[in-house]
Chains A and B, each alone.
Chain A
Amino acid sequence: GAGVSQSPSNKVTEKGKDVELRCDPISGHTALYWYRQSLGQGLEFLIYFQGNSAPDKSGLPSDRFSAERTGGSVSTLTIQRTQQEDSAVYLCASSQRGTNTDTQYFGPGTRLTVL
Chain B
Amino acid sequence: AQSVTQPDIHITVSEGASLELRCNYSYGATPYLFWYVQSPGQGLQLLLKYFSGDTLVQGIKGFEAEFKRSQSSFNLRKPSVHWSDAAEYFCAVALSGGYNKLIFGAGTRLAVHP
Q: Give the B-binding residues of A (Cβ under 8 A).
A: 4, 31, 33, 35, 42-45, 48, 50, 55-56, 91, 93, 95, 98-109
Q: Give A91 to B104 CA distance when docked, in angstroms.
A: 13
Q: Give the A-binding residues of B (Cβ under 8 A).
A: 32, 36, 41-46, 49, 51, 90, 92, 94-107
Q: Give A43 to B89 CA distance when docked, in angstroms.
A: 12
Contact of B42 among A56, A98, A108 (CB under 8 A): A108
Further 16 A-B residue pairs, CB within 8 A, beyond A43-B90, A98-B100, A109-B43: A31-B100, A35-B102, A42-B104, A43-B92, A45-B102, A56-B99, A56-B101, A99-B100, A100-B32, A100-B99, A100-B100, A101-B100, A102-B100, A104-B46, A106-B36, A108-B41
> Which residue on A lies nearest to B31, using beta carbons?
A100
A42 touching B107 by the CB < 8 A rule?
yes
Q: Give A104 to B35 CA distance when docked, in angstroms.
A: 12
Q: Give A31 to B99 CA distance when docked, in angstroms.
A: 9
Q: Give A70 to B105 CA distance when docked, in angstroms.
A: 31
Between B49, B98, B102, the greatest number of chain A beta carbons within 10 A of the residue's beta carbon is seen for: B102
B44 touching A91 by the CB < 8 A rule?
yes
Contacts of A106 in B (CB 8 A): 36, 43-45
In the complex, 17 of the A-B residue pairs with CB atoms within 8 angstroms, ordered by the A residue number, are A4-B43, A33-B102, A35-B102, A42-B104, A42-B106, A42-B107, A43-B90, A44-B104, A48-B101, A55-B99, A99-B100, A100-B51, A100-B98, A101-B51, A104-B46, A106-B43, A107-B43
Contacts of A100 in B (CB 8 A): 32, 51, 94-100
Contact of B104 among A43, A56, A105 (CB under 8 A): A43
